[in-house]
């Protein structure tokens, strides 16, 4: 067991940690309420690039969890921050929905399909063959290839849907160009989140339900990591990975007393 480190800020995943199938996980609202009441800096992280923070705030409110939209950090926002740091006020051809395009606009980017500096691929409920074809041609023409996250599938009521990582593989097969993925498990998403709330890795914790994204990225970013068992990873699965979380707890309800 690692030595105790003082925790002064928290990052937490959403699906599988705070909500499951649009319903709040027991204890989630109390955990967020404790953070808010004590003025502890925190951000909710998601690889989902479809929705804006305002959309996600409303979805969480419908689940019974009240957070301000400024407390939500998406892979689209992290991607926009990354691009702005790389090329200020640049241009991009974006394949995605409002979560991505809004983030890029607010970062000063111009959306264009005429010689853009970047092709940015995010999630969308309906990938357009026309848009994918345009992306392939622009990348072959010299545009740099960026993806919001590497998730290969996303959930739906009917079953899995192809997501960013799967479509990125198609584009890579057609162009020979590998993308740069900004979202989890890239620890860059965590570092941008830390910068957003003015926190330091040594005194920040990450709460997640997936060993292969939340925990490994938190570990690589130097955070204390808490694996909750209310989502993708079961207790018996932890030993299958060559790395371990700092702590394993049953649910986020067990963390309220640590805030």
Residue 227, SS3 per DSSP: strand
Cis peptide before 185 (omega within 30 of 0): yes
Per the structure block, which two tokens stand in for 53? 């923070």
Helices 164-175/129-140 angle, 10° precision: 50
Q: Are 81 and 220 in contact (CB under 8 A)?
A: no
CA 70 to CA 106: how far, in whole Å?
14
CA 76 to CA 72: how far, in whole Å?
11
Q: In sequence order, what are the residues at sequence separation of 6 or more whose Cβ sits closer than 8 angstroms to the Cβ of residue 53? A: 69, 70, 72, 73, 74, 77
113 is catalytic: no
15 is catalytic: yes
Q: Which residue has the tokens 């955990």?
A: 31
Of the candidates 13, 55, 151, 209, the residue annotated as catalytic is 13
Relative to beta strand 9-13, strand 42-46 is parallel
E strand or H helix at 45 = strand 42-46
Relative to beta strand 23-24, strand 19-20 is antiparallel
Q: Are 227 and 33 in contact (CB under 8 A)?
A: no
Which amino acids are annotated catalytic?
A: 13, 15
């Amino acid at each position: 067991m690692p030595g105790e480190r003082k925790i002064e800020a928290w990052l937490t995943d959403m699906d599988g940690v705070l909500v499951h199938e649009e319903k709040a996980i027991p204890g989630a609202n109390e955990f967020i309420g404790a953070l808010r009441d004590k003025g502890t800096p925190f951000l909710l992280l998601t690889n989902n690039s479809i929705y804006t923070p305002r959309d996600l705030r409303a979805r969480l409110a419908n689940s019974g969890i009240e957070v301000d939209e400024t407390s939500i950090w998406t892979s689209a926002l992290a991607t926009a921050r990354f691009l702005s740091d790389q090329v200020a006020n640049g241009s991009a051809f974006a394949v995605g929905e409002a979560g991505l395009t809004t983030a890029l606009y607010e970062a000063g980017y111009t959306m264009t399909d005429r010689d853009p500096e970047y092709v940015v691929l995010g999630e969308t409920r309906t990938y357009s063959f026309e848009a994918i074809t345009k992306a392939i041609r622009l990348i072959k023409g010299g545009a740099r290839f960026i993806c919001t996250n590497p998730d290969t599938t996303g959930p739906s009521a009917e079953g899995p849907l192809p997501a960013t990582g799967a479509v990125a593989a198609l584009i890579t097969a057609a162009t020979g160009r590998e993308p740069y993925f900004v979202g989890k498990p890239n620890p860059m998403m965590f570092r941008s989140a830390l910068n957003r709330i003015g926190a330091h890795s040594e005194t920040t914790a990450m709460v997640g339900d997936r060993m292969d994204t939340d925990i490994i990225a938190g570990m690589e970013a130097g955070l204390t990591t808490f694996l909750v068992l209310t989502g993708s990873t079961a207790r018996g699965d932890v030993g299958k990975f060559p790395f371990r979380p700092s702590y394993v707890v049953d649910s986020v309800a067990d963390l309220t007393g640590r805030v």
